[in-house]
A and B are shown apart, each in its own frame.
Chain A
Amino acid sequence: MEGNKYSIKADFTLMAMMLIPIAIAINILGGQIAAALKLPIYVDTIGTLLIAILAGPWVGALTGLLSNLINGIFDPVFIPYAMVSIAVGLVAGYLSRAKMFNSIGKMIISGIILGLTAAIISSPITAFMFGGVTGSGSTLITGVFLAAGQSLLKSVITTSIITDLADKIISIAFCFFIIKSISIRYLSKFSLGTHFTKKRA
């Protein structure tokens, strides 16, 4: 395993497949609980991040895609944003392969990378498909930037960088606590799980 040979097929173990539904449910529940507690961030990618960190980029991407499609059954606005979730899954998976979640410093860097990824991909969707509207409070921030004379795309990007950076860094911190609480024996079942087992012994 130390040769760092990764393949899509090796990532999709039965265990990884079994975790996908749980990860999707975590995404959806995280979003619901955050909304119920009226938190200003979405926290609806914890499951995608968690599974990407443990089982690699492609399992993460699939989880992101399915999360948005399933949310899209009840609210079609989620469907175009599947692109964002796929990207978050992929990037988190590759970062995990590069052991970018193994220290607090690296996690903050990963959070920034992921936040930027999400912002860069979601902004054109928000700007050109939905005319700058997100259906959440962040539309107001966009409005402020627009009123200050910025272009639509620029306003949307600035808005989403602010919200996405906070969202991803907090979500990663949450994932870190979850992974710390999972037993070593269980972590070792996933292709990237061993990255988190050595330090503890």
Chain B
Amino acid sequence: MDYLIEIQQVTYQYPTGEKPVLQDVSFQIKKGEFCAIIGPNGSGKTTLCNAIRGFIPHFYKGELHGDVRINGKSIKDQTVGELSLQVGFVFQNPFSQISGVSETVFEEIRFGLENLGIDTVVAEKRVDEVMKLTKITHLQDRNPFELSGGQLQRVALASIIVMEPDILVIDEPTSQLDPEGTEEVFEIIRLMKEKQKTIILVEHKMELIAEYADHIILIDDGKVILNGNNEEILTNEKVLEHNTLLPQYAMLGLELRKHGVNLDRIPVTEKQAKEELTKWFAQEGQIYV
């Protein structure tokens, strides 16, 4: 089986750091997979994203051991510019994710296409389509400097999506947004999953991860602690030992089990929780009533 992204024994230390931020990290991601990276603050998630996008070792100097391969090719052998054709990158702070030279949202989204050398007519069509997809057409003539955080984060996502990278690395896109903004951003991420993009997402909101992720990796203190599929990880109590939450439905399931309620499986999403509880009520629930 070929993997699209291979992280091979990566150990990395920032030039001014005292100890490695990543230690012997290895895992693989298949094409079209939605992979969530979870773990406490300061565990190395953002550093890992920077390594996948090639900002480590090209932008952040420091010692990098091991290798990151995209499509079989090492990031060490590619420039940040070349990698921008394959890997899109969106990060936390919406206010610093503007080019700083655009007067309108439309120009802002087009900026990446200009840099890719795409013909103007084609580019404008693609910008229109992406704005429709991300529901920001109404913002197209606004100045990016005047938008709210949630609006800007959608513009940032659109500006990356329009470049049509195969891989999207998204680092805590909603940590600075209100619930409404979060929902709109995740709506876009869901659309990208439907389009079979390979997505790597760092996120703390576990209910959303339960809903979307295929593959989950738990990182703590720079090391991979758990690596498995959605239900395997999200029903594992070990996650809680690493200052990381589980979805509230999984917590409910685990708690019920402790009190002797025999669920067939631990639910991770709202839908599964409803199913399991309905099933259980149908079978044994009456005894208690």
Q: Within 8 Å by CB, do A and B touch in the complex? A: yes
Could you count the A-B residue pairs with CB atoms below 8 Å apart for me: how many are there?
A: 10
B117 lies within 8 A of chain A by Cβ? no
Residues on B facing A (Cβ under 8 Å)? 14-16, 59, 61, 100
Majority SS at the chain B contact face? loop
Interface string of A163-201 (1 = CB under 8 A from B): 000000000000000000000110010000000010000
10 contacts between A and B (CB under 8 A): A14-B59, A21-B100, A184-B16, A185-B14, A185-B15, A185-B16, A188-B15, A188-B16, A188-B61, A197-B16
Give the contact-size bracket for chain A. under 10
CB distance from A6 to the nearest CB of B (A): 17
CB distance from A68 to the nearest CB of B (A): 21
Residues on A facing B (Cβ under 8 Å)? 14, 21, 184-185, 188, 197
Name the B residues within 8 Å of A21 (CB-CB): 100
Name the A residues within 8 Å of B14 (CB-CB): 185
Name the B residues within 8 Å of A185 (CB-CB): 14-16
CB distance from B18 to the nearest CB of A (A): 10
Name the B residues within 8 Å of A188 (CB-CB): 15-16, 61
Q: Which of A14, A21, A188, A197 has the most chain B CB atoms closer than 10 A to its own CB? A: A188
CB distance from A189 to the nearest CB of B (A): 8
Cα-based distance from A185 to B16 in the complex (angstroms): 6
Name the A residues within 8 Å of B16 (CB-CB): 184-185, 188, 197
**CB nearest to A14 among chain B residues:** B59
Cα-based distance from A184 to B100 in the complex (angstroms): 26
**CB nearest to A197 among chain B residues:** B16
Cα-based distance from A181 to B113 in the complex (angstroms): 38
CB distance from B201 to the nearest CB of A (A): 25
Cα-based distance from A197 to B14 in the complex (angstroms): 14
Name the A residues within 8 Å of B59 (CB-CB): 14
Cα-based distance from A14 to B59 in the complex (angstroms): 9
**CB nearest to A185 among chain B residues:** B16
**A185-B14, A188-B61, A197-B16 provided; 7 other pairs, C-beta below 8 A?**
A14-B59, A21-B100, A184-B16, A185-B15, A185-B16, A188-B15, A188-B16
